[in-house]
């Protein structure tokens, strides 16, 4: 029979304390319970609901939260189960209505077994879901930190993979130009635009465009499309245009002593066709000098000396590999446009023309470089 407080009339708890008048005694009782049950562990006691109203310890807050979340999770599974079984029963009823009583009974027996199987399956899912949710809620602080770090690392890796994939696609289709990525593609033989334009076309654009009705864009538009333009210098403003004498000395200083030097432009920069009437001591200037030689392996090379930049194209290598490689003694390429008498210093897109720089530019090192490229 319940007892009541003689002072305020409130019902006494199981220990005979009034929740209003004896609050101090109830608090003292709770403290004693912490010491007995948890050895005075404040971390554990913090998660416990002691039922201040009746002075008896209850279940932990974590357990309450876990139970609530588990019930919520299983409720979703049960709803799906109900929807599934309702459909099965409705379909069976429709089918049974068209059958005889005996056949209908068989259908309902089969349906009952099917519903039981489905219900068992969903019950297993619900139990697994509840266990998973409970385990997650009941994790300690250390476990939560551990799982947070693991998830964070997984998300970072996934983001890095996705970003790499997007970058690769953009570089492959020339939407963006990232030489580092293009070089990786090249090393694995993954290329998209090598062979789209030739080295000869790139260095002598308007010679080719003037002979091709379908290619009439300006040189500037062409180099904007296929490269980064570093500088534009008019022929008359350039201090690096070489004389025929300078051209002879330059080719010889780099080890090309037996080559025939040619030019295709006049002193004023107009295209006049190929000429080999170059004098070793002439002070006549030309914007472009060309030469050709065959190395000891029988491979053909084209040499270009444009506004004091020396470049070599391994013609045989490029032809055999459908490649566009240029070796330069500078970290960029130099081209000449005879329509505007302009030198273009450019960095071609690495997906279109691959540029290699040689500080010690000579036939031996050119052959070594090509051997390395072939090995890769």
3-state secondary structure of 228: strand
Highest mean pLDDT, choosing among 33-42, 155-164, 178-187: 155-164
Planar angle of CA 256, 259, 261, nearest 5 degrees: 110
Per-residue CA distances from 110 to 8, 89, 98, 117, 133 (Å): 66, 10, 16, 11, 35
Question: Tokens at residue 63, please?
Answer: 């357990």
3-state secondary structure of 224: helix
**For position 108, what pLDDT does the model report?**
83
Distance in angstroms (rounded) separating the CA atoms of residues 353 and 331: 13
What sign does the dihedral 89-95-100-106 (CA atoms) show? negative
Contact 7, 18 (CB under 8 A): yes
Give tens-digit pLDDT for 252-292. Answer: 999 998 888 999 888 888 888 888 878 889 999 999 999 99
CA atoms within 13 A on the CB side of 274: 7
Distance in angstroms (rounded) separating the CA atoms of residues 249 and 243: 10
**For position 35, what pLDDT does the model report?**
38
DSSP for residue 230:
E
pLDDT at 76 over 70: yes
**For position 86, what pLDDT does the model report?**
86
**For position 52, what pLDDT does the model report?**
41
Residue 337: count other Cβ atoms within 10 Å of its Cβ: 23
Give tens-digit pLDDT for 85-132. Answer: 888 888 888 888 888 878 888 888 888 888 888 888 888 888 888 888
What pTM was estimated for this model as a whole? 0.51
24 band by pLDDT with thresholds 50, 70 and 90? low
Closest listed residue to residue 54, CA positions, set 85, 18, 106, 8: 18
303 band by pLDDT with thresholds 50, 70 and 90? very high
310 band by pLDDT with thresholds 50, 70 and 90? very high
Q: What is the mean pLDDT of residues 368-374?
A: 85
Q: Pairing mode, if any, of strands 300-306 and 309-314? A: antiparallel
């Amino acid at each position: 029979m319940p007892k009541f407080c003689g002072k305020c009339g409130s019902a006494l708890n199981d220990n005979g304390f009034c929740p209003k008048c004896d609050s101090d005694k109830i608090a003292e009782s709770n403290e004693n319970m912490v010491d007995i049950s948890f050895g005075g562990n404040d971390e554990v006691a913090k998660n416990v609901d002691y039922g201040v109203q009746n002075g008896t310890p209850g279940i932990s807050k974590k357990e309450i939260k876990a139970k609530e979340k588990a019930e919520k999770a299983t409720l979703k599974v049960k709803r799906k189960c109900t929807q599934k079984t309702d459909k099965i029963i409705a379909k069976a009823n429709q089918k049974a209505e068209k059958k005889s009583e005996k056949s209908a009974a068989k259908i309902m027996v089969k349906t009952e077994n099917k519903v039981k199987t489905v219900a068992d399956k969903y019950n297993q899912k619900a139990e697994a879901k509840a266990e998973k949710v409970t385990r997650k809620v009941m994790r300690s602080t250390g476990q939560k930190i551990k799982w947070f770090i693991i998830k964070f690392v997984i998300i970072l890796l996934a983001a890095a993979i996705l970003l790499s994939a997007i970058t690769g696609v953009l570089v492959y289709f020339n939407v963006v130009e990232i030489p580092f990525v293009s070089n990786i593609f090249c090393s694995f033989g993954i290329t998209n635009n090598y062979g789209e334009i030739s080295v000869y076309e790139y260095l002598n654009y308007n010679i080719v465009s003037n002979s091709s009705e379908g290619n009439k864009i300006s040189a500037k538009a062409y180099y904007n499309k296929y490269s980064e333009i570093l500088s534009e210098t008019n022929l008359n403003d350039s201090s690096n245009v070489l004389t025929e004498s300078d051209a002879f000395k330059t080719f010889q200083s780099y080890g090309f002593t037996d080559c025939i030097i040619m030019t295709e432009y006049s002193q004023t920069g107009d295209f006049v066709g190929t000429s080999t009437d170059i004098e070793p001591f002439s002070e006549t200037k030309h914007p472009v000098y060309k030469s050709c030689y065959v190395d000891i392996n029988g491979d053909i090379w084209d040499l270009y000396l444009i506004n004091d930049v020396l470049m070599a194209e391994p013609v045989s290598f490029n032809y055999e590999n459908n490649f566009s490689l240029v070796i330069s003694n500078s970290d960029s390429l130099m081209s000449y446009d005879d329509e505007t008498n302009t030198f273009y210093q450019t960095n071609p897109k690495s997906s279109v023309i691959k540029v290699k720089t040689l500080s010690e530019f000579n036939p031996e090192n050119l052959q070594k470089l090509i051997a390395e490229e072939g090995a890769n």
